[in-house]
Amino acid sequence: MAAGLERAVARDALSHVAELVDRLGRWPLFRDVSPPALQALARRLARRPIPAGEIVFLAGDPCRHLYLVEQGFAALRQISAEGREHVLNYVGPGHALNLAAALDGGPQITTAEALNDLALLAVERGDLAGLVQAHADLVGALAWQLAREVRGLSETARGLALDTVRMRLAAFLLEHAELAPPQERWTQERIAAHIGTVRDVVGRILRDFVQEGLVRRERGQLVILAREELEREAGGGHG
C-alpha cells in the first residue's frame, strides 16, 4: 500500500512538472529555452498565492527568491524618504518581479504590491544560480528580459530628466488612457505616481487637455479624442 501511495505521489509530481513546463514554454520569456532547461526550472518552482493588496516584498529586503507572475498583476514602486511614490511598472503573467536582485544577490530594488490576487512561481536564488550555470539558453532568456527592463528604466529616467510634466502626461495617456490595471481606475493620484509628479499638477493638466479637446472622461476612463495632437504634446515619440 505504501508503494502504491509513493507511485501516486510520483505521478502527481510528474504531472505538476509537465503542466509547468507547458505553461512556461508559452511565455515569451522562455520561448527559446530548451525543454530540459524548462523541466529543471519547473522542478524547483513553488507556487505562492498573494492576496490583493498584500506586499510581496519591500525595497531593501534581502532577495531570497526569483518571483515569476503566473496570474494577476503587481505594481513595482519606489518611495522616497519624504513619502513620495513612483510606480516604475505594472507586472503581469509571464514576467519576473525582481530579476536584477535575484541575479546579483543584492537587496530588492522596488516594493512589489499585489493589485489583485496573485499567483507567483518562486525559485530560490541558490537553485537559480545552479540552473543558469547548467543551462546557457536559460541565461540567454534571463539576459534578454533584463535588457528589456534596463531599456524601460532608461526611458523612464530620460523622461523624468528631460520631458515636462505635460509631455510625460501626454505620453502616459497615449500608452494607458483607455486601459487600467485590473480592478483599478486611473485616479489622478495613481497617474501622478506613475509619471513622477503630484496629483494637483495632473489634475490641472488633465483639465487643460479636456478643454483643448484632446481627451474626455467616460465612466472612469480617459478616452483619447485627438491622438495626433496628443502625440505632438508627447514629443512625437508615440505612434
Is the separation of the CB atoms in 102 and 63 below 8 Å? yes
Residues whose CB falls within 8 Å of the CB of residue 13, separated by 6 or more in sequence, listed in order: none
Q: What are the DSSP calls for 6-49, one per residue?
A: HHHHHHHHHHHHHHHHHHHHHSGGGTTS-HHHHHHHHTT-EEEE
CA distance 46 to 159: 38
Grid cell for residue 210: 479636456
pLDDT at 239: 43
Q: What are the DSSP calls for 5-17, one per residue?
A: HHHHHHHHHHHHH
Adjacent-strand bridge partners of 55: 113
Grid cell for residue 111: 516594493
Distances (CA, A) of 13 to 66, 142, 187: 21, 26, 44
pLDDT at 176: 75
CA distance 203 to 166: 11
Distances (CA, A) of 181 to 41, 115, 150, 207: 29, 8, 22, 23
pLDDT at 6: 40
- Residue numbers of the chain with a pLDDT score lower than 70: 1-15, 177-185, 220, 236-239
